[in-house]
């Protein structure tokens, strides 16, 4: 147990000053030794990032030490680096079931999405251009679409159901003669809802429109087969499945042309210039190999732990619920990510709950973004029809391979009294509940 410094306390208060409950009083009210920090660490935020797999780190290290050649060089050190990059390219291709020459390495999911969306639309020769995407996309898709709107491209943002799914018919209805690209994510990062990408890709193919999918949250966790899905472009990020940060990949189906966003020494299939991050790419390849070997077993274990965590929380805490569908599998395919649950706790600020759990050694997250001292509710949850108040009361738990039954037991032991204490501090609790939360 370490003493929580005044500086850290001030920082937390400043960064979260948009919350309606003063954090100072939250700290004082929790059983972690007054203002003492609990040094236990249980990580339930794997949709934000995952730990680097030890095997991936081991394979990376030689390319950070002795084998530091530039993969574009023709001498032996350079050719050793080139061989390592091409091996990793084959490993990532095997993960998503494509040819190695259809994989472009990037700096991560955000760059992959930007190259796919901006590159495809700007390459189109149509005088008028139209893009279809959804209201629940990650900002790495929404912001490029907004940039295209400023260039005069029209963008349709299709709605989602109350369970967080894009309806294929909504995409079909949005099609126009000038539509050049459809971009719908494979799995949502906040709710875990796996979208009907295969059905939407078929609509795009029938209309002769390119189809892109942001698969950053699904790749390496559930099966992703670009041929079976029928996508033309698909984005991935290494650090979401045990690889290093700062490296990702874009699947580009053979024959699809993209206008480069940057210019220089053209590498990566003439799509992305710059010296390859050899060590990072090697780490992504190693993580892809590990994911391929263990995916089914890991997914089933994660779903079992997640389902238990979810069911027990709902059993122990009143006025709590799941945002989105709870069905895991339909017709043999995942309908939501096996590791993700997004829960609301009425009369509790989600940010306050995240901080209170963190003080007790549990890391989870909200779907909200804090900026300029104000807390905005999740655009995903709002699009699903949640009120702003309920969206702000929501917290996401995303599990990983290292989580255990004992970890779940610890969360279950801590979360109910934590929610009760926060409700006791909340002015939003109705009169009929106040006595129960204060006892």
- Same domain flag for 275 and 299: no
- Residues 339-343, mean pLDDT to the nearest whole number: 98
pLDDT of residue 426: 80
Catalytic site includes residue 370: yes
- The DSSP bridge partners found for residue 7 are none
- Same domain flag for 130 and 37: no
- Same domain flag for 221 and 370: no
- Same domain flag for 201 and 333: no
- Residues 298-319, mean pLDDT to the nearest whole number: 98
For 195-215, what is each residue's pLDDT tens digit?
Answer: 999 999 999 999 999 999 999
Q: 301 vs 434, which has greater pLDDT?
A: 301
At which of 262, 290, 318 does a domain end?
Answer: 290
Q: DSSP letters along 405-437, please?
A: HHHHHHHHHHHHHHHHHHHHH-TTS-HHHHHHH
Rounded to an integer, what distance in angstroms lies between the CA atom of residue 239 and that of residue 236?
9
Q: Is the pLDDT of residue 431 over 80?
A: no
CB 109 within 8 A of CB 216: yes
pLDDT interval class at 1 (50, 70, 90): very low
Length of the chain, in residues: 439
Rounded mean pLDDT of the chain? 90
- Same domain flag for 18 and 166: no
At which of 257, 290, 323 does a domain end?
Answer: 290
Rounded to an integer, what distance in angstroms lies between the CA atom of residue 236 and that of residue 227?
16
Q: DSSP letters along 199-255, please?
A: HHHHHHHHHT-EEEEE-TTTBTTB---HHHHT-SEEEEEGGGTTS-TT-EEEEE-TT
Rounded to an integer, what distance in angstroms lies between the CA atom of residue 378 and that of residue 164?
13
- Same domain flag for 170 and 245: yes
Percentage of residues of the chain with pLDDT beyond 90: 79
Q: 312 burial class (0-12, 13-18, 19+ CB within 10 angstroms)?
A: middle
Q: 19, 32, 364, 370: which one is catalytic?
A: 370
Q: Is the pLDDT of residue 307 over 90?
A: yes
Token pair, residue 251, equals 């699947």
Specify the CATH number for the domain of residue 25. Answer: 3.90.1150.10
Q: Is the pLDDT of residue 240 over 90?
A: yes
- Same domain flag for 138 and 24: no
- Same domain flag for 11 and 160: no
Domain count within the chain = 2
Closest CA to 156 of 171, 137, 141: 171
- Same domain flag for 21 and 144: no
pLDDT of residue 11: 41
For 127-146, what is each residue's pLDDT tens digit?
Answer: 999 999 999 999 999 999 99
Q: Count CA atoms within 13 Å of residue 238 on its CB side.
A: 32
pLDDT of residue 429: 74
- Same domain flag for 423 and 356: yes
For 386-430, what is each residue's pLDDT tens digit?
Answer: 999 999 999 999 999 999 999 999 999 999 999 999 999 887 777
Rounded to an integer, what distance in angstroms lies between the CA atom of residue 256 and that of residue 186?
20
For 11-66, what is each residue's pLDDT tens digit?
Answer: 444 344 344 444 544 554 555 543 345 666 999 999 999 999 999 999 999 999 99
- Same domain flag for 13 and 61: no
Contacting residues for 31 by C-beta, under 8 A, at least 6 apart? 417
Closest CA to 220 of 319, 314, 287: 287
- Same domain flag for 64 and 7: no
pLDDT of residue 268: 76
Specify the CATH number for the domain of residue 178. Answer: 3.40.640.10
Least confident of 188-192, 318-322, 363-367: 363-367
Q: Is the pLDDT of residue 9 over 80?
A: no
- Residues 224-247, mean pLDDT to the nearest whole number: 98
Q: 274 vs 164, which has greater pLDDT?
A: 164
Token pair, residue 105, equals 């390495």
Contacting residues for 104 by C-beta, under 8 A, at least 6 apart? 112, 115, 249, 250, 251, 252, 268, 269, 271, 272
- Residues 222-243, mean pLDDT to the nearest whole number: 98
At which of 230, 262, 290 does a domain end?
Answer: 290
Range of the domain at 122: 54-290
């Amino acid at each position: 147990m370490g003493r929580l410094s005044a500086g850290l306390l001030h920082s937390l208060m400043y960064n979260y000053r948009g919350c309606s409950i003063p954090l100072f009083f939250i700290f004082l009210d929790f059983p972690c030794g007054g203002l003492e920090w609990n040094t236990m660490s249980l990580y339930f935020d794997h949709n934000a990032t995952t730990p680097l797999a030890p095997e991936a780190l081991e394979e990376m290290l030689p390319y950070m030490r002795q084998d530091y050649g530039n993969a574009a060089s023709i001498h032996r050190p350079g050719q050793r680096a080139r061989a390592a990059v091409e091996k990793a390219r084959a490993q990532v291709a095997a993960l998503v079931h494509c040819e190695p020459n259809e994989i472009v390495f990037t700096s991560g999911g955000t760059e992959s999405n930007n190259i796919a969306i901006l590159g495809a639309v700007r390459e189109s020769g149509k005088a008028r251009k139209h893009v279809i995407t959804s209201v629940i996309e990650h900002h790495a898709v929404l912001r490029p679409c907004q940039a295209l709107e400023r260039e005069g491209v029209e963008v349709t943002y299709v709605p989602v159901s109350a369970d967080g799914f894009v309806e294929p018919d909504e995409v079909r209805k949005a099609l126009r003669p000038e539509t050049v690209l459809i971009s719908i994510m494979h799995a949502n990062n906040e709710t875990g809802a796996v979208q009907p990408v295969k059905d939407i890709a078929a609509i795009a193919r029938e209309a002769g429109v390119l189809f892109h999918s942001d698969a950053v949250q699904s790749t390496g966790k559930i099966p992703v087969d670009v041929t079976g899905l029928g996508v033309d472009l698909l984005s991935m990020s290494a650090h979401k499945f045990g690889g290093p940060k700062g490296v990702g990949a874009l699947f580009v189906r053979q024959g699809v042309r993209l206008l480069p966003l940057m210019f220089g020494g053209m590498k990566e299939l003439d799509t992305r210039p710059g010296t390859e991050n050899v060590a990072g790419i090697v780490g992504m390849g190693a993580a892809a190999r590990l994911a391929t070997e263990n995916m089914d077993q890991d997914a089933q274990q994660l779903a079992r732990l997640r389902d238990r965590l979810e069911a027990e929380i709902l059993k122990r805490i009143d006025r709590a619920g799941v945002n989105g569908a709870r069905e895991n599998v339909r017709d043999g395919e995942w309908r939501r990510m096996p590791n993700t649950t997004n829960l609301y706790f009425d009369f509790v600020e989600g940010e306050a709950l995240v901080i209170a759990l963190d003080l007790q050694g549990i890391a989870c997250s909200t779907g909200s973004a804090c900026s300029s001292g104000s807390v905005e509710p999740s655009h995903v949850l709002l699009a699903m029809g949640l009120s702003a108040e309920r969206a702000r009361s929501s917290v996401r738990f995303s599990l990983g391979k290292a989580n255990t039954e004992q970890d779940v037991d610890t969360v279950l032991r801590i979360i109910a009294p934590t929610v009760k204490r926060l409700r006791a501090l909340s002015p939003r609790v109705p009169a009929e509940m106040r006595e129960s939360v204060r006892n």
